[in-house]
């Protein structure tokens, strides 16, 4: 953090050591103590808050942005890490690349290593597709915890929560297409839904709203079926609040606020005591955020109310099998009613258990009376995956992160 921009409004003396270190770094880079054949390299995840003096010619004047690998790059990375492994015949590397959106090179290396360990535990002679899918599930969602004690009432609530997510995402145009839903506890979550998000460069308001609607589907399902809601939707509420905040205050996607952004690209607002807008505007922002979230919640309620019988059938299937796949949704709902929307997946495998697995998790956390929920690792954000679940809260391309692209 020594390269952070110096603030005009910072309290005197509050950052003396950091600023002295920065000044000395600038002095050394200017060559007051001349060295030959010396190249200075640095890395940061927040180039937007670096002091401008660091980026002037003669200092860090060449900037290389290292993004997360795209589909073709992930395929190339897989080829490198798969070389030492004995693979099952016919393993499709491009298929593996499609199941890992948002994964870094290190994540992919971890997947390959974990898949080899899983194959060894299963006494297999070669690593096959099922092992890789299990490895991705384990890395994103954590270890299965079938021994965790869950009451029948809680299990039923979790099943309808996850079925609500799956139903709304299936019936909204831009929500990420479902791959798998489970109520088997993994990590610190009691249930999860895996999606395969589209790797977008730009996101529209309709796309964000569809994602929000699908995220609120779990809470809406609880309201419709049980007539009450639980604390299990905490991460869902956090996600949609962040997305709505970004729409209103950052991306200029709200008519009432207009074509204005309050995004702070300098990072100096942390040191300020005032907001960049008036109290009246702050009130409008609060109202618009609440309005957007409530509109999508009501939309989710309508979708689920109109398809209550199918929602119930899906939840009952989930309670019976504990894991359901895309093919099961097709059996209940029919094909997605948006044939023009590409979901990026391969044709369904003959064995539904070999269906694609993971990209982004939607958690139903432990339902407790104190309102506290254990935080499960992101898929997303894990981010993994772009989230919308916050794969990385600093990712500028993620509308849920509150940062512009």
Active-site residues, by number, are 162
CA distance 175 to 195: 9
CA distance 190 to 158: 7
Q: Which residues contact 135 (CB under 8 A, 6 or more apart)?
A: 111, 112, 114, 115, 118
Q: Residues 364, 376: contact at Cβ < 8 Å?
A: no
Supply 30's token pair.
């200017």
Q: What CA–CA distances, in Å, run from 6 to 2, 229, 271?
A: 10, 47, 10
Q: Which residues contact 117 (CB under 8 A, 6 or more apart)?
A: none
Residue 102, burial from CB neighbour count under 10 angstroms (0-12, 13-18, 19+): buried
Q: Which residues contact 12 (CB under 8 A, 6 or more apart)?
A: none
Length of the chain, please? 405
Q: What CA–CA distances, in Å, run from 78 to 72, 107, 109, 115?
A: 10, 10, 8, 12
């Amino acid at each position: 953090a020594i390269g952070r921009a110096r603030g005009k409004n910072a309290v005197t003396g509050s950052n003396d050591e950091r600023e002295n270190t920065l000044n000395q770094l600038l002095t050394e880079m200017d060559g007051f103590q001349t060295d030959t054949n010396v190249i200075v390299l640095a890395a940061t995840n927040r180039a937007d808050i670096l002091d401008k003096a660091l980026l002037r010619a003669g200092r860090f004047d060449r900037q290389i942005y290292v993004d997360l690998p795209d589909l073709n790059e992930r395929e190339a990375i897989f080829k490198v890490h798969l070389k030492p492994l004995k693979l099952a015949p016919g393993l499709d590397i491009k298929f593996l690349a499609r199941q890992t959106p948002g994964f870094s090179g290190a994540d992919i290396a971890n997947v390959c290593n974990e898949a080899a360990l899983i194959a060894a535990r299963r006494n297999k002679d070669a690593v096959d597709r099922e092992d890789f899918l299990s490895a991705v599930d384990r890395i994103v969602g954590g270890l299965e915890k079938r021994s965790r004690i869950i009451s029948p009432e809680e299990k039923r609530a979790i099943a309808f929560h996850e079925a609500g997510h799956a139903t709304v995402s299936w019936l909204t145009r831009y929500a990420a297409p479902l791959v798998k839903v489970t109520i088997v506890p993994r990590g610190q979550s009691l249930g999860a839904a895996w999606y395969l998000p589209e790797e977008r460069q730009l996101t529209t308001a309709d796309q964000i709203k569809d994602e929000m609607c699908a995220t609120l589907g779990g809470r809406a399902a609880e309201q419709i079926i049980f007539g009450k809601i639980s604390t299990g939707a905490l991460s869902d509420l956090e996600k949609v609040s962040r997305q709505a905040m970004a729409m209103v205050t950052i991306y200029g996607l709200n008519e009432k606020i207009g074509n204005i952004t309050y995004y702070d690209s300098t990072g100096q607002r942390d040191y300020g005591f005032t907001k960049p807008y008036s109290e009246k505007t702050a009130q409008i922002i609060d109202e618009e955020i609440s309005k957007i979230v409530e509109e999508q919640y009501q939309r989710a309620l309508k979708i689920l109310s109109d398809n209550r019988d199918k929602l119930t059938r899906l939840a009952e299937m989930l309670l019976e099998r504990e894991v359901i796949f895309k093919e099961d949704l097709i059996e209940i709902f029919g094909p997605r009613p948006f044939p023009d929307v590409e979901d990026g997946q391969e044709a369904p495998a003959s064995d539904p258990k070999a269906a694609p697995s993971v990209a982004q998790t939607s958690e139903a956390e432990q339902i407790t009376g104190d309102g506290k929920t254990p935080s499960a690792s992101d898929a997303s954000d894990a981010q993994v995956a772009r989230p919308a679940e916050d794969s990385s809260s600093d990712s500028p391309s993620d509308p849920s992160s509150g940062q512009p692209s």
